[in-house]
Amino acid sequence: MTSKTFSQPRTMLQIAAVALLSLGVTGCFDDDNNDVVVIPVPTPTPTPTPVTLDAGQCLNQEVAPGVTVASLVVPDVLTIDPGSPAGFPNGRLPSDPVIDVTLAVIFLQLGADGQNALTLANLPLNPPENDRPFNANFPFLAGPQGNPTLSLTSGTNFGFRTDAASAYTRVDRMGMPAVSTALIPSERKIAYNDASPADDAAGDFVPDLSSTLQSLTEALADDLVAAGLNPCAD
């Protein structure tokens, strides 16, 4: 049995042999039309080893001196320090990009390559300002769109309900933005909204917060890196 190639194929087998030879597949052929071509089996690509990131570093980084991300999330309350400048996370101004700030401090390494709490807010995807100017006086909200007869930009006779807390039913907790929405898993949201900041301080929902943050970090880390950003998790 000799090895040969065909310059002028005469049979379907020979045509197939020429095609295989052109792809670098070798074989042995003779003239009895009973040739066998052995096609090498490619080595399978090894399965990538999953990368585990430590999202705990994100919770421990400082947003301000002595103020960690974890201390802003647990317990889930929006604190106000009259001795510090107003603005999120010290209270909230109507113009504060609170969601962008929240996402930045739980996903990005603050201080790395100039990254800070406003890094995501400064991306060109976001509008630079509200489409209507905010009112400088109470209730500080921007005027409505169009020309409605009711305006919230002026007036002093505002009526506030004085019902006892028992007259209301809690449907959602509005503490730090995005905590209940993004970090509490769906099956735990009712329990979370029915609970109180005292339950947060006791650590009842810390495993939920940590687990969700870990999953989100591992899912988004490669996208953040591809966008030129530095995640806070290693």
Residue 41: its pLDDT value, please?
66
7 and 73 fall within a common domain: no
> Is residue 182 domain-resident?
yes
Which structural domain range is residue 178 located in? 48-129+171-234
17 and 73 fall within a common domain: no
Inter-residue contact 172 to 125 (CB < 8 Å): no
107 and 186 fall within a common domain: yes
Beta-carbon contacts of residue 78 (< 8 Å; ≥ 6 apart):
89, 91, 92, 175, 176
179 and 105 fall within a common domain: yes
> Is residue 185 domain-resident?
yes
Residue 4: its pLDDT value, please?
47
Beta-carbon contacts of residue 53 (< 8 Å; ≥ 6 apart):
214, 217, 218, 221, 231, 233, 234
What pTM value is reported for the model? 0.65
37 and 96 fall within a common domain: no
6 and 115 fall within a common domain: no
78 and 116 fall within a common domain: yes
Per-residue pLDDT of the chain (234 residues; tens, 9 = 90+): 444 444 444 565 555 555 555 555 555 555 555 555 555 667 777 766 556 778 888 888 888 778 888 988 899 988 888 888 888 888 888 888 888 888 898 899 988 888 888 898 888 777 778 888 888 888 788 877 777 665 555 566 677 788 998 898 888 888 888 888 889 999 999 999 999 999 999 999 999 999 999 999 989 998 999 988 999 887
Question: How many domains would you assign to the chain?
Answer: 2
